[in-house]
Homo-oligomer: A and B are copies of this chain.
């Protein structure tokens, strides 16, 4: 039984594991003040060709979202997202638990459009309602779709004009960065106020690299990391992992690999005549399959069952990771 259930079924990319083993016996300063976190941060600044950002390493994605959002908003302010947004659906009310409402509009292929933002802004006009202050999107989206550079630029311009923070959740950023038309890492830093470079779902054991671009978000940020329980004593674990990911383009290599293996699946599905719930160029696929075929596939593979389309058809989700062998994708295609 092979699993296409998600991109966090395995441990870490071999190079990351090796780096952890090699540095294991060293003594370093605690809480992310070590040389590895410094080096990873420096390397990232080089990659985005921008020195005036603050870089923080946080153990997980929900944790990163709740810390960034709660530290940026005042008590009466809210964040805008799509109704399929991770913060709205799948974080057990983590944002609300810090006191903030998540405003939503129904998603369009997982994406938030300018019209949706405008509509939420138009609705919230006075002190009897929360004040929208941040736009949250994720790249790739929950449906594996990817915002184009043009879309990112437009949202960015709107946010600047309306004094909104623009925050991009990059749990699967590596898979997006290598898609044609998507903003580059450098452009992420040019057009957002904050974004994070996901590690957990991109070959690290765990960890997300949060980049604070807007000066307003930087002050005292380590207090928020500590208060929410995210300041690892052995913070160098995060530094070592991200330094490895940033060196020799490993991060991009993993993204490409995941997408390539996903492409084997996608091509196979298309060739077999199946369509998709949402068409995605990244490492998550949402094919619509006959229930009987699903049953057959389940004898050799595991994956998530999503929505029922009709009596006989269902959407499933297939996810590839840094560790998915191409052979398994081929094997899956053969079963179709």
Contact = CB atoms under 8 A, between A and B. Distances in A.
Interface of A: 2-3, 5-6, 8-12, 14, 17, 20-21, 23-31, 59-67, 70-71, 74-76, 78, 89-94, 96-102, 127-131, 200-201, 205-206, 220, 222-234, 237, 323
Chain B CB count within 10 A is highest, among A29, A128, A131, for A128
Contact of A10 (B27, B67, B94, B226): B27
A233 B59 CA distance: 10
Given A233-B200, A234-B200, A227 B93 contact: yes
The A interface is mostly helix, strand or loop, or mixed, namely: loop
Given A60-B232, A91-B226, A206-B232, A11 B30 contact: no
Contact of A229 (B29, B60, B130): B60
A104 to B, nearest CB: 10
A234 B206 contact: yes
Given A96-B96, A96-B101, A127 B206 contact: no
10 contacts: A6-B30, A14-B24, A21-B21, A64-B229, A76-B92, A76-B227, A91-B226, A93-B101, A206-B237, A228-B229
Contacts of A131: 220, 223
A20 to B, nearest CB: 7
A89 B85 CA distance: 20
B232 A92 contact: no
Given A11-B25, A127-B223, A62 B231 contact: yes
A162 to B, nearest CB: 15
Contact of A127 (B24, B78, B101, B222): B222
Contact of A30 (B8, B30, B67): B8
B233 A92 contact: no
A93 B100 contact: yes
A234 to B, nearest CB: 5
Nearest to A103: B93
Nearest to A130: B93
Contacts of A94: 226-229
Contacts of A101: 93, 96, 102
Nearest to A64: B229
Contact of A75 (B8, B31, B227): B227
B9 A27 contact: yes
A62 B67 CA distance: 15
A25 B59 CA distance: 21
Contacts of A237: 11, 205-206
A27 B12 contact: no
A145 B227 CA distance: 26
A8 B233 contact: yes
A175 B161 CA distance: 45
B11 A17 contact: no
A112 to B, nearest CB: 19
Contact of A93 (B6, B29, B71, B76): B76
